[in-house]
Amino acid sequence: MGGSLFLGWMAIQMLQSRRSQATIQVQRSGFAVGFVTAVANPKDILFFAAFFPQFVRITADFTLSISILTLIWVVLDLLILSLWIVSVRRYVPQRFARQVNVATALFLLAVAIAGLWINLRALA
């Protein structure tokens, strides 16, 4: 429930943002922050640690297998995120930044409301 409340708060903050197109700047340091955030994503970590190694044994040594799988996961995550960033920067003009921000905020708000609804139903 805490995650849903956080998403809702974040969405409301995004919707209340009144920055004009002129003040929206592309941050060059966003790549490092985004990559660390993605790699530290609890959903990815739980999936990777609990599910993936059970079905993929690439060497006889578990430590070597998990190391190789971790490296592959980090590289694939980096490639997918990089492709997404490059695609958005190339095909979504800066003049649409506000619309993309609002659409993202509305999506986060919908996810937060759905999460709260599901959690409240489970408590009842």
Q: Reduce the secondary structure of the chain to three states and give it as a string.
A: CHHHHHHHHHHHHHHHCCCCHHHCCCCCCHHHHHHHHHHCCHHHHHHHHHCHHHHCCCCCCHHHHHHHHHHHHHHHHHHHHHHHHHHHHHHCCHHHHHHHHHHHHHHHHHHHHHHHHHHHHHHC
The pLDDT assigned to 21 comes to 41
Q: What is the mean pLDDT of residues 19-41?
A: 60
pLDDT at 94 over 60: yes
Q: What is the mean pLDDT of residues 85-114?
A: 83
- For residue 22, the enclosing domain spans 2-123
Give the predicted TM-score (pTM) of the model: 0.51
What mean pLDDT, rounded, does the chain reach? 76
% of the chain residues with pLDDT over 70: 70
Q: How many domains does the chain have?
A: 1
The pLDDT assigned to 83 comes to 84
